[in-house]
Structure 1
Amino acid sequence: MILIDSHCHLDKICNKEKKNSLNNILLESKKKNVKYILNVSTSLKNFDKMKIFLKNKKNIFYSCGIHPFYYEKNIKTKEIEYRSKSKNVIAIGEIGLDYSKHNKINKKNQKKMFIKQIKISKKLKKPIIVHTRNSIEDTIQILKNSKINKYGGIIHSFNETNLKYLQKIIDLNFYISISGIVTFKNASKLRKIIEYIPLNKILIETDSPYLSPEPYRGKKNKPSNLYYIAKCISKIRKIEFYKFSEIVKENFETLFNIKIK
């Protein structure tokens, strides 16, 4: 059985403590059948740091992009494009819009950077990983206007409970990645929405070190916890666990045009 964590920040999980060393985190993941990880960047500085930290570890893929929290006025898109050309960089992200009170970047600048990075995705023919918080309508409109659907991408940590938004995302040829939120006691509406996601459009993620699933909610998240997310969704969809893991693997392979052994 192979489980794939489609969104993780390994460099933010590991530290000098032996139990949280990179090798221990990866070994722990392997024991829970999490054998591949997509390590997602949030800024160019973060991307450069994680490449050095991970040292091209086997079974780890990368994305390169600037999160809406880290927009910089003088950033050159050529710097993103240059890093994204690397073979083991399989996606552009995480990029998108965040209209929460925690983000100090104005909406206009967020949209501008989002569109610029979508253009890189289209040029390099690599999918995008989309962060959207309190901004789903603008996110969908930008994706639609950009005609990104040929290469598609992921709406990461999907948490919308309105069926119309799910349908619009699916119509754009995007995948829906489900995080540990699905296991929360107050997530009954999200669990209901998951029943309507086409099986060929589902991916799963931990978003480690954030959003730990039950029974580890409140603790630092790890890729090994993907097991509990997969278990929860397979139960919701009434699919045998092994079969669900195969579906997710095939979806990951299709989106990123890679073959996983």
Structure 2
Amino acid sequence: MFVDSHCHLDRLDLSARNNQLQSVIDAATEKNVSRMLCVAIDMQTLPGMLEKVNRFDNVYASAGVHPLHVSDGVPDVATLLGYAAEPKVIALGETGLDYYYQKDTVTQQRESFVNHLQASAQSRLPVIVHTRDARDDTISILRQHVDTAVGGVLHCFTENWEMARQAMDLNFMISFSGIITFRNAAELREVVRQVPMENLLIETDSPYLAPVPYRGKPNEPQYVVEVAQCVADIKGLRIEEVAEITSNNFDRLFSKAVSG
């Protein structure tokens, strides 16, 4: 069984599925994708996202504010802790730093990132980190504020091996998306080769970044199987091994999914 460790089910265009999220879940189940983590990007849509997720036993949620949404407000630690107590919430984020798309909110991004890390330490929930064009600052803030006993994940990883290594030293997993199937992603596939399987997760980041052969189409959790196959090809493993190891990694990191 596969786990999609990062998707945005509330962002899917369901018009081709009679506006039924159940249809997306069923399609994933048919591909042996047994569980999904639906990741929050802002506080405004989080209540509605949780309402949708609560309908499905095999879908979990996170709570947090994406760095590109901090202009709408930086969440305080108390607010994050309140959501961390929700039964379905097994992680905080996605948070982090994005200097590629938005440099004018750097101060707010850093404040929000630190708040998520503090809430992570207090709630014992791992943090989901988005990072783009901010390698040094991301690692620096993690070193200062992360509780390494809790850890987290660098999701949709597109950075270099050195950043992956530094993150793993802080008890972070590295999650790869459909980007690794793209023709121009040879350098990233080399990072996949270097990351130990015990530190690796797979994701879709749907509805974005559909893997080959679905590139250019809306992404869905069912397509995490293509990501797993690419990892298997790179590592010289059977896809069943990738499914088992990454599922175990998910349970180890997001332990509330098992205990809760």
Give the secondary-structure state (helix, strand or coil) at the position aligned to 1:154: strand
The equivalent of 2:171 in structure 1 is 173
The equivalent of 1:127 in structure 2 is 126
- CA gap of 1:184–1:74, structure 2 versus 1, over 3 A, is closer
Counterpart contact for 1:127–1:152, Cα < 8 Å: yes
The equivalent of 2:22 in structure 1 is 23
Q: Does 1:191 align with 2:212?
A: no
What does 1:111-126 correspond to in 2, within 5 Å? 111-126=110-125
Counterpart contact for 1:42–1:67, Cα < 8 Å: yes
Match of 1:217 among 194, 215, 220: 215
Using the TM superposition, name which of 53-62 and 192-201 deviates more.
Answer: 53-62
CA distance in 2, matches of 1:105, 1:56: 38
Equivalent AA in structure 2 for residue 52 of structure 1: E
Counterpart contact for 1:44–1:80, Cα < 8 Å: no
Deviation at 1:103, TM superposition (A): 2.2
Equivalent AA in structure 2 for residue 236 of structure 1: I
> How many correspondences in the alignment?
257
CA distance in 2, matches of 1:116, 1:74: 9
> 1:201-255 CA deviation, whole Å, 9 max, x = no partner?
0000000000100001111100011110100101100011111111011101111
Give the secondary-structure state (helix, strand or coil) at the position aligned to 2:41: coil
Equivalent AA in structure 1 for residue 80 of structure 2: I
> 1:157-216 CA deviation, whole Å, 9 max, x = no partner?
0011x3221211111110000000000000001111111101100000000000100001
CA distance in 1, matches of 2:35, 2:219: 16
Scaled by the length of structure 2, what TM-score is found?
0.94
Equivalent AA in structure 1 for residue 41 of structure 2: T
The equivalent of 1:243 in structure 2 is 241
- CA gap of 1:56–1:21, structure 2 versus 1, over 3 A, is closer
Deviation at 1:73, TM superposition (A): 4.3
CA distance in 1, matches of 2:242, 2:16: 34
Using the TM superposition, name which of 199-208 and 12-21 deviates more.
Answer: 12-21
Deviation at 1:8, TM superposition (A): 0.3
Counterpart contact for 1:13–1:20, Cα < 8 Å: no
The equivalent of 1:84 in structure 2 is 84
> 1:82-140 CA deviation, whole Å, 9 max, x = no partner?
1121122100010000101x326421221111101110010000000000011111101
Give the secondary-structure state (helix, strand or coil) at the position aligned to 1:5: strand
CA distance in 2, matches of 1:61, 1:14: 20
Equivalent AA in structure 2 for residue 88 of structure 1: K
Deviation at 1:49, TM superposition (A): 1.4
CA distance in 1, matches of 2:24, 2:109: 34
Deviation at 1:57, TM superposition (A): 1.1
Counterpart contact for 1:69–1:105, Cα < 8 Å: no
Counterpart contact for 2:211–2:223, Cα < 8 Å: yes
CA distance in 1, matches of 2:233, 2:94: 29
Counterpart contact for 2:75–2:112, Cα < 8 Å: no
Deviation at 1:74, TM superposition (A): 6.4
What does 1:132-171 correspond to in 2, within 5 Å? 132-160=131-159, 162-171=160-169
The unaligned stretches of length 5 or more in structure 2 are none
CA distance in 2, matches of 1:48, 1:103: 26
CA distance in 2, matches of 1:17, 1:164: 42
What root-mean-square deviation, in Å, do the aligned CA atoms of Structure 1 and Structure 2 show? Answer: 1.6
The unaligned stretches of length 5 or more in structure 1 are none
CA distance in 2, matches of 1:163, 1:38: 25
The equivalent of 1:56 in structure 2 is 55
CA distance in 2, matches of 1:235, 1:221: 21
> 1:25-82 CA deviation, whole Å, 9 max, x = no partner?
1111011111100000001112111122334311001100011111144644322221
Q: Does 1:65 align with 2:64?
A: yes
What does 1:220-235 correspond to in 2, within 5 Å? 220-235=218-233
The equivalent of 1:182 in structure 2 is 180
Deviation at 1:256, TM superposition (A): 1.4
- CA gap of 1:221–1:73, structure 2 versus 1, over 3 A, is closer
Give the secondary-structure state (helix, strand or coil) at the position aligned to 2:45: helix
Counterpart contact for 2:117–2:127, Cα < 8 Å: yes
- CA gap of 1:11–1:145, structure 2 versus 1, over 3 A, is same
- CA gap of 1:195–1:74, structure 2 versus 1, over 3 A, is closer
Identity of aligned residues (%): 36
